[in-house]
Every structure is written in C-alpha cells, then in structure tokens.
Amino acid sequence: MLAKTDFDPSVLWIWGTMQAMAVIRVLKACEREFGGEGQRVVKEALRDTGRDIGRQMMGSLEKPEKLSDAEIASFFATVVNCIAYASLEEPSIDSGDKVSFHILWCPHQDYYAAFDCRVQRYFVQGMLEAVKEKGLLADWQVRFTQTIPAGAETCRFELWRAPDDEKSQWEKYSEQLEAKALEIAQREAGE
C-alpha cells in the first residue's frame, strides 16, 4: 500500500481513530441501554478480536531457545505496541522477571478520556490469552502505572512474573473498572 502513489496512507490514521472512537461509544451505549449484559457482550467481542489478532501475530512461532521469558515479554509488548496499536514506545528489560515500556505517543491520546482507555484492556486480554495458548508467559501479568489521557507525559506499563497472589491482577482491575462504568452508565441513563 505504501508504494501506491494514488493513495495517502495517513488517511488510515483518521480511519483508525474513527473506529477507536466508535468502539468506546458502542461500549458506553450498550452499558447505558443494557447494563451488565451489554457490557459483557461488547467485552467478549473485543477480547475475541484481541485473541484473533494475538494468534495472527504469534503465527507458528515456537519459543526461541536462547531467549529468556523477559526478552519474550518485551518482544511481545513491542509487537503489540508498534504494530497492533501503531504507538511509539521505549522498552526496558528491568530484570529477568520484569519488563516495562513507556508509550511515547499513542494514536488515541488526544481523543480518549482517561477512563476510555479501559476499552483497550479487552483487546489486550485477548492478545495475552493468545500468547498463553502458545505456552508462553503463562505466569506473567501486566499493569499500567500512568497514562497520557490522565495527564502523564507517557503511558507506562509493566509486565512481570507474577506470584500466585498476583496472577489475576489484570482481570481484577478490569472488573473494578467494569463496575465503575456501569455506575456511570446508570447515572447517565437516569439523566
């Protein structure tokens, strides 16, 4: 596509932004109109989409013998960030059990409110499930420590080898956000 002279690839950014805004609006509308069931349906569709994207990214990949789990986690995060999300990142392997990255620029940063970023959690959840299907990073978790829409200069995420008591941290925080979203939707529906 980049070799085509009759097409401006930058319009894909506009198209992608339109799609991203539509997704968050569909989620909010379903939460407002249908409550928890609407939220569940949209969440599952987004997670399934993320899983499909993750499977495509992983393809027939087998665990490279000479790469550590931290290197695999960092590589996976870079592929997700730079390809699936078209974001610019600064990755770091912090230890054998922890990697992190700063998102220096995100295509959603000027359009999403801080709470809107939650919609991306479902895509990421599906991608993580795809990686774990390959037998990779089974005991790793992810969390964010700051986001651009909340006022930080960068979004910062960490992936770490989680002890048993932290193994479902991503999912637990998602559930907290879902409950808050339903409270907001109920208030908006009552206005």
**DSSP H or E run through 90:** strand 88-95
**Main-chain phi, psi angles of 87, to 5 degrees:** -105, 155
Closest CA to 143 of 163, 114, 121: 121
Amino acid (1-letter code) at residue 175: E
pLDDT at res. 10: 77
Tens digit of each residue's pLDDT (9 = 90 or more) over 148-167: 988 999 999 999 999 988 88
Name the residue with higher pLDDT: 5 or 182: 182
Distance CA 51, CA 45 (A): 10
pTM of the model: 0.89
Closest CA to 63 of 115, 130, 10, 137: 137
The two structure tokens encoding residue 10: 């930058």
Q: What domains lie within the chain, and their CATH numbers?
A: 11-190 (3.30.1380.20)
Tens digit of each residue's pLDDT (9 = 90 or more) over 57-113: 888 878 888 999 999 999 999 999 998 988 999 999 999 999 999 999 988 888 888
pLDDT of 1 > 70? The answer is no
